[in-house]
Each structure stands twice: as structure tokens, then as C-alpha cells.
Amino acid sequence: MNRPAIPHRLEPARDALSRPLHDLRISVIDRCNFRCPYCMPEDQYAHDHVFLPKDQRLRFEEIERIARAFVALGVRKLRLTGGEPLLRRDLHELVHQLAQIPGVDDIALTTNGVLLPRLAQALREAGLKRLTVSLDSLDPDTFRQLSGGRGEVADVLDGIAAAEAAGFTSIKLNCVVLRGVNDHQVTDLAGRFRGTPHVVRFIEYMDVGTVNRWCADSVVPSAELLARIQACWPLRVLEPNYRGEVARRYAYVDGAGEIG
């Protein structure tokens, strides 16, 4: 049976505030090799947890077709997420398919980084343009705690180095900040990547329903984080890259890069 063709261009989609739809996030797998307490805690996702069966996942061809439909509505940036997207076998093949879609300007991927040493080069060659790596702490014990006992910070740093070697020149590094856990380490993380092309982004601990037992007492407001960093290095506000940009961006006054 012939499928109806997807038009190359339709009227651009807009949200309730009349902002144009530019970005599409695509979750390629629901599994993850970490058990971060703020996202997929061990007591909710134990070893016997039943994830989506492989035959029920969208095939690469189906994902490509969905992406083409959204590109026709004005999407220009595609972001691959999970779970941990690098657990999806042959992911570079999907990246290659998406990179061939006319109108796609940017393909990005969010990952915990531990599988990048063996996958970064193939992803780059397939057409992946940007990476976001989760890095909640540089301290081995704190990092182990925040990965649910399944991750080592050295492996993530190795992944970042592999991505750099593959040609990813500006990597975003996401840190979820929890009071009493890693909030005292934010300046260490900012300082580690100050003076590099990479951008550390500090993220408030968010409520994702009943799964992560969210508690307001664990939240460190962005204003408090900003004050801590500014006590070490003066910052200036950067203008948004585009209308509706969620992240608030700041540059070091001395020109040593930016944070978010």
C-alpha cells in the first residue's frame, strides 16, 4: 500500500504563545544504564523492571518519517534522547538517515557519556552535530551516588575526551543540582571547564511526578547558584539565541566562556 507523501513545507506550527516550533526531541529508547535518583531511581526501576519490548519501539524508518513530518511543519533541530540513547543499537544509522532530510539544520544527542569512547567517531561521521553530556559532579563518590551506583566520573570524562577527538568542539554539560548532595561542588564544575569551548548548564531539580520523590527542600534556586558562581568569577547576561529559548545564558566577563 502506498503511503501518502509528506509535503515539503506546511504552515509553520506555533504554540499557544505564537512561538514557532523549531526543535523536536525524539526518545529512541526507554532503557538507561544509570539509575539517577532524580530521574530513574533504583527502587522504581530495579533489575527486573519491564521496559518497552524491542519489537514495540519505533523502527528507524518510522522515526525518520515522523521527523520528516515535523520538518514540514517548521522543525529545524532534532534531538535524540532516551533513556540512554547510546544503548540503541546502530544509532549512527538513524543519525545518517535524519541528516539526509532536507531542512534539518542540526542533530543533537543527550547522553550520560560512558559509551562515547567507542561510538563518538561513528556518530560524528554520520552527521551528528552537537552533544549534551550529563555530568552532575567531578567527585567520584558524589557522582557514584548520583548515578545510582552505576557510573564512574572517570568514564564520563573519557567519553568527553573521545567526543573532542571525534570533532565535537563545543559540548554542553548538564548538571542537576541537589541541595546537600552536590550543590557545594558547582564552582568546581564551572572552574573545570572555564576557558574551554564547552558550556556547563546547571539545572534545578525538577518534579517528574511521583517517581523521583521530588522535594522542594532539595531544590537550589538558579539565583542562588548564580550568586555562588559570581562570587568566584564575574558574569554578564547573554541575549537569547532565539525567541523562546529556555536556558538563561551568562558569559564570564574575562572572556573565559559561558555557563547556563
Domain spans, the chain: 23-48+58-259
pTM of the model: 0.90
Please report which confidence band the pLDDT of residue 162 belongs to, taking 50, 70 and 90 as the band edges. Answer: very high
Query: β-strand 106-111 against 77-81: which pairing, if any?
Result: parallel
Give per-residue pLDDT as tens, 205-225. Answer: 877 655 556 678 789 999 999
- Cα-based angle 193, 133, 170 (whole degrees, multiple of 5): 55
Cell of 15: 504554540
Residue 244 has pLDDT above 70, yes or no: no
Q: Are 28 and 59 in contact (CB under 8 A)?
A: no
Averaged pLDDT of the chain: 92
Residue 242 to residues 22, 102, 248: CA-CA distances in angstroms? 10, 21, 12
Neighbours of 196 (CB within 10 A): 16
Residue 83 gets the label, from left (phi > 0), alpha (psi -120 to 50) or beta, of left
In angstroms, rounded to a whole number, what is the distance separating the alpha carbons of residues 135 and 29? Answer: 20
Mean pLDDT, residues 38-55 taken together:
87
Q: What is the pLDDT of residue 82?
A: 95
Locate the DSSP E strands across the chain.
Answer: 23-27, 77-81, 106-111, 130-134, 172-177, 199-204, 235-237, 250-252, 258-259
Please report which confidence band the pLDDT of residue 10 belongs to, taking 50, 70 and 90 as the band edges. Answer: low
Q: What is the pLDDT of residue 48?
A: 80
CATH, range 23-48+58-259: 3.20.20.70
Q: What is the pLDDT of residue 84?
A: 98
